[in-house]
Amino acid sequence: MKNYKRYLVTSALPYANGPIHIGHLAGVYIPSDIYTRYLRMKGLDVISICGSDEHGVPITLKARKEGVTPQEIVDRYHSINKKAFEDFGIAFDIYSRTSNKVHYETASDFFLTLYNKGEFTEKSSEQYFDEEAGCFLADRYIMGTCPHCGNENAYGDQCEKCGTSLSPNELINPHSTVSGSKPVLRETLHWYLPLDKYEPWLKKWILEDHKDWKVNVYGQCKSWLDQGLQPRAVSRDLDWGIPVPVDGAKGKVLYVWFDAPIGYISATKELTPDWEKYWKDKETKMVHFIGKDNIVFHCIIFPAMLKAEGSYILPENVPANEFLNLENDKISTSRNWAVWLHEYLEDFPGKQDVLRYSLCANAPETKDNDFTWKDFQARNNNELVAILGNFVNRTLVLTNNYYDGKVPGRGKTDSNDDSVLNEMARIKEYVETSLESFRFREALKEAMNLARLGNKYLTDAEPWKVIKTNPERVKTIMNIALQITANLTIVFEPFLPFSMEKLRGWINFNELKWSKAGNSDLLASGHIINKPGLLFDKIEDEEITRQTDKLIATKKSNEEAGAKTVPGKAVITFDDFTKIDIRTATILEAEKVPKTTKLLKLKIDTGLDTRTIVSGIAEYYAPEAIVGKQISIVANLEPREIKGIESKGMILMAEDKDGKLVMVTTSDKVSNGSTIK
RNA sequence: UGCGGGGUGGAGCAGUGGUAGCUCGUUGGGCUCAUAACCCAAAGGUCGGAGGUUCGAAUCCUUCCUCCGCUACCA
């Protein structure tokens, strides 16, 4: 393993439009915190960088919705999240923000360097422009009718009703959410980073030189590289963000994905005047902690930017985690399906380490995992209380009883003593190896094995019995139990900093050097320990029930919200209505469109003609079951090509609130082509 | 749909060719220093299904099913 002079650890910048939840913690911030705490304990030169990502369209939308400025939004969540991290002991050296002056300068300079080196290509394209407001509209600023489900409040990038992703020019009757006017297409110029140019280099750098990356990360990169990279726009027409620092770029800002990772650099600048040695010296090891949604930015785009700039180092590893679910359901901010950090601390004050422990022990390192309150309780009661807390308690109580809190001297050891002491040293190595390779779950389990070892040692040695026959021997036993306790404060420090601080206070021990772990003489004979308390408390069923009830209530209110029928549409004239040619028809043939999940190709008799219609009903109707059925169709809809088949018309379907489709038919059989009015 | 990542005892996971392992839970026993905590033992798996390669497969190949993420068809 190469030895580096210093470490630069970055954690994904949380987006400042909402609070932090357990998914963020488990995926990114707990691993990065454990890693940096460990490196610091080794006495290495390490800095941990994070901050709020404060640009981008969703923040401006949220601001508009609440009638405040974007700055107010980011100020709010920046301080909430900064505090949440502090409260949980996530020890960044700096928690900065991308609305800082130093970040504006850094990002502008970065852009200019690439610009002057001719690394960008320029291209103009047609985008929607709001003539009343006098600005270009980002996708999210355009609303209109969803061509799929008829929802009149679909956004330019996605319809939130049916989940379809859209592009603005697909919307029917698009209108600007800024002024309400109908936008027009207008030419606009943007700068692109030609990722394709870096493809050969990226292929070598990742696919050949970094085979050691986690399989999910490597696989995702390989997939992108195999498909071929496209130039990517680095600017947007928007007024919230960092202005593009060149002439003729009025009203244009850096695209948020370009500006955000540079935030790592500017935060470092803000932290130390020595920032360049962390970013530009090959002796620095840079590690990005992120979630799986961020892989492409940190493994492909940001490295390409750094490479294009030329003077920066590249990440040595990008240990991305998968996602955490909550009680079998995706965590979702908008559905309030989450455990928010600030709420957790209100319900479980002082129990940061319990959450840290259960999230790390169940971290989604190789696949999506599920957080359940029952598991949380079990981890606390059966592991933290029963194994770690109990061992510490047994040891300290016995020491106080027998020796009045004075560490007894160790006499001659027997073979069992020796093997326990050797095992202690070996556990340190295991924890270390696991941490170095970003296997935090495993590292934590190994650390817990030290407490298990201690429990077993006490039970085997039975000092409470031996004290009656051979008090000298008990001194040795208790000395060893106390050495194990002192060791626990070191190996658990990265994982459970709050509890270990408590424990160090009880045993008057403040040696936080990783190199001391495995040492069997941490507490000298005669060393005085204090009266202990309990390291962890049991969590009763009622507390867990309160949490699950809370979630059940959330689910219920979501269902009620979802059960609302689609809002009514605007009034139309009778003329409008008569334009629609609705008639009965019969399905003659039906077959599945190959390589699709939802599409059926139908041949139908409309009374006027026989025609083909492609319909997205395959999930609800089997082809053979619907041949011969009489249905209703819109006969005069503009033909459209779907998966290479021309579809002439649309079959009427009733869609209920969970998206189930049911055919609209007549109650009695009528002849094909009967009009419906 | 395409691509990526998963599917291993009740739960959560490890295990990339050589007798299937860990933590928790369960059952039985022991101990009493300890927050009914601790220690020992046992039960529990045809390693998603089906084919194949091999002396030998959870592990390699083919194919299918299924879950998650990104992506795509719903006129």
pLDDT band at A134 (very low <50, low <70, confident <90, very high): low
SS3 label, residue A134: coil
- Per-residue pLDDT reduced to its tens digit, A189-214: 889 888 888 988 988 888 888 878 88
N-to-C CA span, chain A: 77
- Per-residue pLDDT reduced to its tens digit, A494-534: 999 999 999 999 999 998 999 999 999 999 999 999 988 99
A445 touches strand B (CB under 7 A): yes
The mean of the pLDDT values for chain A is: 85
Phi/psi at A455 (nearest 5 deg)? -60, -45
- Per-residue pLDDT, averaged over A621-626, amounts to 71
> Which residues, 6+ apart, have CB-to-CB distance to A182 below 8 Å?
A173, A174, A175, A176
A195 touches strand B (CB under 7 A): no
Nucleotide nearest to A451 (CA to C1'): B38
Residue A135: pLDDT above 50? yes
Q: Which amino acid would we find at residue A512?
A: L
Residue A163: pLDDT above 50? no
- Per-residue pLDDT, averaged over A18-37, amounts to 91
Q: How far is the CA of A390 from the C1' of B35 (A)?
A: 7
Instruction: Give the pLDDT confidence score for residue A167 in this predicted structure.
Output: 63
Q: Which amino acid would we find at residue A636?
A: N
Whether the predicted model's global pTM rises above the 0.80 cut: yes
Q: How far is the CA of A600 from the C1' of B75 (A)?
A: 13
Instruction: Give the pLDDT confidence score for residue A78 in this predicted structure.
Output: 94
CA quadruple A111, A116, A118, A121: dihedral sign: positive
Residue with more model confidence, A261 or A650: A261
Q: Would you say the ipTM is above 0.90?
A: no
Per the structure, the residue whose CA is closest to nucleotide B71 at C1' is A165
Q: Which nucleotides of B are covered by protein (CB under 7 A)?
A: 1-7, 11-16, 22-25, 30-35, 37-40, 68-75
Of A residues 156-175, those with CB within 7 angstroms of nucleic strand B are: 162-165, 170
Residue A556: pLDDT above 50? yes
Instruction: Give the pLDDT confidence score for residue A147 in this predicted structure.
Output: 60
A398 touches strand B (CB under 7 A): yes
- Per-residue pLDDT, averaged over A367-372, amounts to 84
Q: In angstroms, rounded to a whole number, what is the distance separating the alpha carbons of residues A452 and A399? A: 19
- Per-residue pLDDT, averaged over A271-275, amounts to 96
Mean pLDDT is highest, among A124-138, A214-228, A318-332, A441-455, for A441-455
Q: How far is the CA of A420 from the C1' of B41 (A)?
A: 22
> Which residues, 6+ apart, have CB-to-CB distance to A330 below 8 Å?
A323, A337
Residue A560: pLDDT above 80? no
pLDDT band at A162 (very low <50, low <70, confident <90, very high): very low
Instruction: Give the pLDDT confidence score for residue A497 in this predicted structure.
Output: 95
- Per-residue pLDDT, averaged over A625-650, amounts to 78
- Per-residue pLDDT, averaged over A69-83, amounts to 93
Nucleotide nearest to A467 (CA to C1'): B33
Per the structure, the residue whose CA is closest to nucleotide B23 at C1' is A445
A133 touches strand B (CB under 7 A): no
A593 touches strand B (CB under 7 A): yes
Instruction: Give the pLDDT confidence score for residue A374 in this predicted structure.
Output: 87
Of A residues 208-267, those with CB within 7 angstroms of nucleic strand B are: 215-216, 218-220, 222-223, 226-227
A592 touches strand B (CB under 7 A): no
A615 touches strand B (CB under 7 A): yes
Residue A133: pLDDT above 70? no
SS3 label, residue A469: helix
Residue A251: pLDDT above 50? yes
